[in-house]
Amino acid sequence: MPWGTAVRQHLAVLVGRRWVFVGVAVLLAAVTAAVLTLRSGPSPACAAPPTGNTVHRGKATFYDSGVRAATVRS
């Protein structure tokens, strides 16, 4: 087998594998984005304007969002 043919075959295998790696990376990114989106829940982002006619006074903190903190056991 001449050297040129062997090199072309190896390059073809590497190019084929590159597409597999790119596909796996895209799939992993999509799954990560979906998990992070679903974990955030229905609470609005920090910069979201208040909704409704309720007047808000005072300083907003993480604890005002209604999310219960996890209990830490030592």
Q: Which two tokens stand for residue 18?
A: 């590159």
Distance of CA 45 to the CA centre of its chain: 16
State if pTM tops 0.95: no
Predicted local confidence at residue 47, as pLDDT: 64
Q: In sequence order, what are the residues at sequence separation of 6 or more whose Cβ sits closer than 8 angstroms to the Cβ of residue 50?
A: 56
CA dihedral (4, 7, 9, 15) positive or negative: negative
Residue 43 and residue 67 in contact, taking contact as beta carbons nearer than 8 Å = yes
- The amino acid sitting at 38 is L
Give the tens place of pLDDT for each residue, 56-66: 677 766 665 55
Query: CA-CA distances (angstroms) from residue 18 to 15, 21, 52?
Result: 5, 5, 51
Predicted local confidence at residue 25, as pLDDT: 94
pLDDT over 90, % of the chain: 11
